[in-house]
């Protein structure tokens, strides 16, 4: 009776013990599986007073180790579990996993999910997960030779940025002094170094926006602020196939490559040979630098084609594009060629510098009778601000001057409040603005003088299916 009355709570406590987050991942319980728990359940049912005495004696003795395996960690004490059941579980020997035999005759390692006492401890598993390439694509490593580095310095609105390729020998030269490359190799991003003239430079790895603005240019680039809006218009997802007409310097191609991912594809046409070669060169430089500083390589998913898009009907006839990006002088000439290959409901985003080009584009769609609806014509305006401490001409921080209170004016104000108090009820708990202290130094907060004004008009066209009369 005593054993039967104890059986239910013991099994319930064992189940709860195994469901605990901190214990469920323990290699000991993870390797037990279902069979030892079934054996433990039968032992609990057949326990008696003699088993209890034997279990207490075995619990005091040191457990014997299985040859070639480590001893499992002891179970934590849980209130309500009988000593006979605990001793029975501790006396159980974990089954040694049999090595699976490969068809070639070699012995394969056992499945980690069925490991017993030979399973690695939990901290080792956490370290392996942290070191896996899928956990992070960026390496927390110092600068290496061959990668692109961005150096920044400046004072208020006067900013100096220089993009350079790090090598074993050479200098970072500027009007604010020079820094040897040997002093940069081995430093981590965010390091501040002093130049030969005493100017401080911050070194970091460039972002894609920095690279597009500072890379070598042929034609005028598509600014990142406009590229971001075009990506939102086209609603690109990983795995999409996108057509680009007008490779230019390769800035838009890089952003499209990142948007479609390794499973997607970008087909970029350029009519000029020099622009075509420059776009391929800029794309390669970015990929090579990315490979050095990141675990996962940049996807090689852009096909640069030196050809006029108006004569590329045979090149794209087997493709269906999810979106199209046009950056050319006369996009209305290319629309009849790419229209059949744009999917139903697909977006064509057009980058135009002048508003007269927008008018010619819409008129060309009307004449060609293309089922393209103009959903949006936008212009992206970005205003940068300067917020910094105010300084005098000598470079000394200006201090705020606290105004002196005029005693006569204060007495007059008190008399006036007493007179008006008969008509209005003053709130005694309201805090006066004069009780807040002044700050230590004043700040400058205004738009910067040098602003990026108009760059382009962005036109969003959507392909639709017309109704038949």
Q: What is the pLDDT along the chain (469 residues), one digit of tens a residue?
A: 444 445 555 455 555 555 555 444 444 444 444 444 455 445 444 444 444 445 444 444 444 444 444 444 444 444 444 434 333 333 334 444 444 444 444 433 434 333 444 444 444 433 443 443 334 455 678 999 999 999 999 877 678 899 999 998 899 998 889 999 999 999 999 999 999 999 999 999 999 999 999 999 999 899 999 999 999 999 999 999 999 999 999 999 999 999 999 999 999 999 999 999 999 999 999 999 999 999 899 999 999 999 999 999 999 999 999 999 999 999 999 999 999 999 999 999 999 999 999 999 999 999 999 999 999 999 999 998 988 888 776 666 666 666 666 666 666 566 555 544 544 444 444 444 444 355 667 788 888 888 888 999 999 999 998 877 6
Q: In Å, how far from its chain's centre is CA 75?
A: 41
Q: Tell me if 389 sits within 8 A of 444, measured CB to CB.
A: yes
Residue with tokens 């400046």: 154
Q: What is the pLDDT of residue 409?
A: 60
Length of the chain: 469
Measured between alpha carbons, how far is 338 from 323 in angstroms, rounded to an integer?
Answer: 11
Measured between alpha carbons, how far is 290 from 286 in angstroms, rounded to an integer?
Answer: 6
Measured between alpha carbons, how far is 54 from 59 in angstroms, rounded to an integer?
Answer: 8
Q: Tell me if 186 sits within 8 A of 143, measured CB to CB.
A: yes
pTM for the predicted model, two decimal places? 0.64
Paired sense of beta strands 342-352 and 457-463, if any: antiparallel
Q: What is the pLDDT of residue 37?
A: 46
Q: What is the largest CA-CA distance in the chain?
A: 106
Q: What is the CA radius of gyration of the chain?
A: 36
Helices (H), 185-238: 208-214, 224-234
Q: Where are the beta strands (DSSP E) in 99-253?
A: 100-101, 107-108, 148-155, 158-165, 171-174, 177-180, 191-194, 200-204, 241-245
Measured between alpha carbons, how far is 236 from 264 in angstroms, rounded to an integer?
Answer: 10
Q: What is the pLDDT of residue 213?
A: 95
Adjacent-strand bridge partners of 204: 150
Measured between alpha carbons, how far is 396 from 441 in angstroms, rounded to an integer?
Answer: 11
DSSP secondary structure, 19-59, as one string: H-HHHHT-HHHHHH-SHHHHHHHHHHHT--HHHHHHHHHHH
Dihedrals φ, ψ of 243, to 5°? -105, 135
Look up residue 75 and give its two tokens: 């179970």
DSSP state of 174: E
Q: What is the mean pLDDT of the chain?
A: 75
Measured between alpha carbons, how far is 254 from 446 in angstroms, rounded to an integer?
Answer: 34
> Given 3-state DSSP classes, what are the helix, strand and coil percentages for the chain, each rounded to the nearest 5?
35, 20, 40
Residue with tokens 């479609």: 260
Look up residue 52 and give its two tokens: 């209890």
Measured between alpha carbons, how far is 9 from 2 in angstroms, rounded to an integer?
Answer: 12
């Amino acid at each position: 009776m005593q054993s039967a009355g104890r059986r239910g709570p013991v099994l319930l406590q064992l189940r709860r013990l195994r469901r605990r987050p901190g214990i469920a991942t323990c290699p000991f319980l993870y390797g037990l599986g279902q069979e030892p728990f079934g054996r433990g359940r039968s032992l609990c049912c057949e326990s008696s007073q003699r088993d209890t005495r034997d279990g207490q004696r075995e619990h005091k003795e040191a457990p014997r180790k299985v040859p070639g395996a480590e001893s499992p960690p002891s179970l934590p004490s849980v209130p309500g579990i009988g000593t006979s059941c605990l001793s029975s579980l501790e006396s159980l020997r974990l089954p040694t996993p049999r090595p699976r035999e490969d068809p070639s005759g070699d012995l394969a390692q056992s499945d980690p999910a069925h490991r017993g006492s030979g399973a690695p401890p939990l901290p080792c598993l956490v370290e392996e997960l942290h070191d896996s390439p899928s956990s992070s694509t960026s390496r927390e490593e110092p600068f290496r030779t061959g990668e692109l580095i961005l150096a920044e310095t400046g004072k208020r609105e006067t900013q100096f940025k220089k993009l350079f390729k790090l090598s074993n020998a050479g200098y970072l030269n500027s009007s604010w002094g020079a820094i040897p490359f040997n002093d940069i190799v081995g430093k981590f991003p965010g390091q501040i170094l002093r130049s030969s003239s005493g100017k401080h430079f911050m070194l970091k790895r460039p972002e894609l926006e920095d690279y597009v603005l500072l890379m070598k240019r042929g034609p005028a680039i598509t600014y990142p602020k406009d590229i971001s809006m075009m990506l939102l218009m086209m609603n690109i997802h990983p795995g999409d196939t996108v057509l680009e007409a007008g490779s230019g310097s390769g800035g838009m191609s890089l952003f499209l490559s990142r948007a479609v991912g390794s499973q997607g594809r970008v087909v970029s046409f350029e009519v000029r040979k020099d622009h075509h070669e420059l776009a391929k060169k800029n794309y390669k430089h970015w990929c090579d630098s990315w490979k050095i500083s990141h675990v996962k390589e940049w996807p090689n998913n852009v096909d640069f084609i030196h050809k006029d898009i108006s004569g590329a009907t045979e090149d794209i006839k087997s493709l269906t594009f999810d979106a199209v990006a046009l950056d050319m002088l006369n996009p209305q000439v290319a629309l009849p060629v790419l229209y059949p290959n744009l999917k139903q409901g697909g977006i064509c985003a057009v980058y135009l510098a002048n508003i007269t080009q927008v008018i010619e584009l819409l008129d060309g769609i009307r004449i060609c009778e293309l089922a393209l609806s103009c959903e949006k014509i936008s212009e992206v305006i970005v205003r940068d601000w300067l917020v910094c401490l105010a300084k005098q001409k000598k470079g000394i921080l200006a201090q705020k001057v606290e105004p002196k209170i005029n005693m006569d004016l204060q007495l007059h104000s008190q008399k006036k409040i007493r007179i008006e108090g008969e008509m209005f009820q003053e709130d005694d708990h309201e805090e006066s603005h004069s009780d807040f202290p002044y700050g230590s130094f004043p700040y400058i907060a205004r738009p910067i003088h040098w602003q990026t004004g108009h760059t382009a008009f962005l036109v969003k066209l959507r392909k639709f299916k017309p109704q038949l009369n």
